[in-house]
Chains A and B, each alone.
Chain A
Amino acid sequence: MRTLILQTASKYLLPLLLLFSIFILLRGHYLPGGGFVGGLIASIAFILHAFANGLPQTRNLMRIHPGFLMPVGLGLSFLSGLFPMFLNRPFMTGIWFAEKVAVIGSIGTALFFDIGVYLVVIGASLTIIFTISESN
Chain B
Amino acid sequence: MEVLLAIVIGTLYAAGIFMILRRSLVRLIIGLILLGNGANLLIFLLGRIAKGKPPLIPEDANFMTAAYADPIPQALILTAIVISFGLQAFAIVLVKRAYRVVKTDDIDQMNATDDV
Contact = CB atoms under 8 A, between A and B. Distances in A.
Interface of A: 30-32, 36, 40, 121, 124-125, 128, 131-132
Contacts of A132: 89, 92-93
A48 to B, nearest CB: 17
B68 to A, nearest CB: 14
Interface of B: 54, 56, 78-79, 82, 85-86, 89, 92-93
Q: Is chain B's binding surface mostly helix, strand, loop or mixed?
A: helix
B72 to A, nearest CB: 16
Given A36-B79, A36-B82, A128 B89 contact: yes
17 contacts: A30-B56, A31-B56, A32-B54, A32-B56, A36-B78, A36-B79, A36-B82, A40-B82, A121-B82, A124-B86, A125-B85, A128-B86, A128-B89, A131-B93, A132-B89, A132-B92, A132-B93
**8 tightest A-B contacts by CB?**
A128-B89, A36-B82, A36-B78, A124-B86, A132-B93, A31-B56, A121-B82, A125-B85
Given A32-B56, A124-B86, 12 more contacts: A30-B56, A32-B54, A36-B78, A36-B79, A36-B82, A121-B82, A125-B85, A128-B86, A131-B93, A132-B89, A132-B92, A132-B93
A32 B82 CA distance: 16
Nearest to A121: B82
Q: Is chain A's binding surface mostly helix, strand, loop or mixed?
A: helix
A30 B62 CA distance: 12
A32 B69 CA distance: 14
A30 B86 CA distance: 27
A27 B84 CA distance: 25
A28 to B, nearest CB: 11
A30 B54 CA distance: 12
Contacts of A131: 93
Contacts of A121: 82
Contacts of B93: 131-132
